[in-house]
Amino acid sequence: MYNIDIAMGLVRVTEAAALNGAKLMGRGDKNAADQAAVDGMEKAFNMMPIRGKVVIGEGEMDEAPMLYIGQKVGLWHEDMPKMDIAVDPVDGTVLIAKGLPNSIAVVAMGPEGSLLHAPDMYMKKIAVGAGAKGAIDINKSPKENIINVAKALGKDVTELTIIVQERERHNYIVEQAREVGARVKLFGEGDVAAILACGFENTGIDLMMGTGGAPEGVIAAAAIKCMGGEMQALLQPQNEKEIKRCISMGIDDVEKVLTIDDLVRTDDVYFAATALTDSDLLKGVVFSRNDIATTHSVVMRSKTGTIRFVETIHHINKSSLI
């Protein structure tokens, strides 16, 4: 009974975040949009039939009043499952503030102890969908990975599309991709949406490479695991303080290549996302007349391999979530 409730409950969580945050699209205030999404997400979480604890959230307790690391969420009845929760109420706060594409609300959830407690630092990542599983190696050059992924997918390299965040630190990836003739799609913010796009053939995205946030990496890994794809990662601590932070969170070897099973240590993880603005995979929130809004979401479970796309029409003045 709870499995069905959990999957659909997670969609309600990301829907609530997206509805609240999308109201502030294009207003130029990323913090206000993020806070609105956090408010909606927390309220929805507390209706779920789980004993949940946030392991990746908005920050430490003294940094964030809600959805902080260690916070308990859910109904917390004794017969309910204990769950690790990883949240990003708005992946792409700059995007929603500017009204740009690829801003989404995301949640990953697995049994207690299953999600890597990733510190808030940089993480190098490479990800592909199920068709190229086994073809990537984070220690190889971008050029080698592109050629190997193209072979695995039965594509000519010129037909392969890689997605890369437009940052100076990624110039070497773009240069090598262009050298071998691959197609390159650049994005500004929101690498969860970028990694998510790798798992679906209809997005036209085959491979994601680059360095971004470690917490977002764990959330994205949950999605890739649900889709049967592959992801590898390397933490990139910038100083001694960040190294000590890793150790304090139970990561003894900061130079270890993290496989998808290191990032998500369970075969029963859930992932849900609702778009605030249009993305490669999902349409953003649309507000209509008479307090009606439409959301587009995806929810997955790795144990069953189920992927559901959910289009929901909300009567906002009747909703208890916003």
In a shared domain, residues 96 and 57: yes
Q: Is 81 exposed, middle or buried (0-12, 13-18, 19+ CB in 10 A)?
A: middle
Band (298; pLDDT cuts 50, 70, 90): very high
pLDDT tens track for 142-169: 999 999 999 999 999 999 999 999 999 9
Tell me if 1 is assigned to some domain.
Answer: no
Closest CA to 260 of 222, 295, 289, 293: 222
Torsion-angle region of 283 (φ positive above 0: left; ψ -120 to 50: alpha; else: beta): beta
pTM of the model: 0.93
The DSSP annotation for 82-106 comes to EEEEEEEEEE-HHHHHHT-S--EEE
The helix (H) or strand (E) run that includes residue 31 is helix 30-45
Band (62; pLDDT cuts 50, 70, 90): low
Angle 73-78-81 (CA atoms, 0-180°, nearest 5)? Answer: 60
Token pair 């289009």: residue: 311
Tell me if 236 is assigned to some domain.
Answer: yes
In a shared domain, residues 97 and 151: no
Residue 132 predicted with pLDDT over 50: yes
pLDDT tens track for 234-278: 999 888 888 888 888 778 788 899 999 999 999 999 999 999 999
In a shared domain, residues 249 and 143: yes
Residue 2 predicted with pLDDT over 80: no
Tell me if 65 is assigned to some domain.
Answer: yes
Buried b vs exposed e over 178-191: b needs ≥16 C-beta within 10 Å?
eeeebbbbebebbb
Tell me if 213 is assigned to some domain.
Answer: yes
In a shared domain, residues 107 and 67: yes
Domain that holds residue 71: 6-115+268-318
In a shared domain, residues 187 and 213: yes
Summary mean pLDDT of the chain: 92
Tell me if 287 is assigned to some domain.
Answer: yes
Query: Across residues 2-17, what is the average pLDDT?
Result: 85
Which of the listed residues 263, 282, 300 is the one where a domain comes to its end? 263
Query: Across residues 62-67, what is the average pLDDT?
Result: 78
Q: For the chain, what is the domain count?
A: 2
With beta carbons less than 8 A apart as the criterion, state whether 17 and 38 touch: yes
Sign, CA torsion 233/239/245/248:
positive
In a shared domain, residues 259 and 136: yes
- The whole-angstrom distance between residue 310's C-alpha and the CA centroid of its chain comes to 17
Query: In one letter, which amino acid is 30?
Result: K
Share of the chain above pLDDT 90, in %: 80
pLDDT tens track for 19-32: 999 999 999 999 99
Q: Is 240 annotated as a binding residue?
A: no
Q: Is 88 annotated as a binding residue?
A: yes
Query: Across residues 188-203, what is the average pLDDT?
Result: 91
The count of residues in the chain is 322
Tell me if 97 is assigned to some domain.
Answer: yes
Kindly report the CATH number assigned to the domain that includes residue 177. 3.40.190.90
Closest CA to 128 of 214, 47, 220: 220
In a shared domain, residues 133 and 248: yes
In a shared domain, residues 128 and 246: yes
- The whole-angstrom distance between residue 240's C-alpha and the CA centroid of its chain comes to 27
Tell me if 107 is assigned to some domain.
Answer: yes
In a shared domain, residues 92 and 108: yes
In a shared domain, residues 180 and 255: yes
In a shared domain, residues 66 and 135: no
Band (291; pLDDT cuts 50, 70, 90): confident
Which of the listed residues 218, 234, 263 is the one where a domain comes to its end? 263
With beta carbons less than 8 A apart as the criterion, state whether 115 and 83 touch: no
* pLDDT of res. 320: 52
Band (1; pLDDT cuts 50, 70, 90): very low
In a shared domain, residues 51 and 109: yes
Please tell me the distance from the alpha carbon of residue 311 to that of residue 274, in angstroms, as a whole number: 10
Tell me if 219 is assigned to some domain.
Answer: yes
Q: Is 216 annotated as a binding residue?
A: yes
Kindly report the CATH number assigned to the domain that includes residue 58. 3.30.540.10
CA atoms within 13 A on the CB side of 114: 25
Query: Across residues 117-146, what is the average pLDDT?
Result: 95
Q: Is 156 annotated as a binding residue?
A: no
Q: Is 175 annotated as a binding residue?
A: no
Residue 176 predicted with pLDDT over 50: yes
Query: Across residues 36-61, what is the average pLDDT?
Result: 91
Please tell me the distance from the alpha carbon of residue 32 to that of residue 294, in angstroms, as a whole number: 21
Which of the listed residues 263, 278, 294 is the one where a domain comes to its end? 263
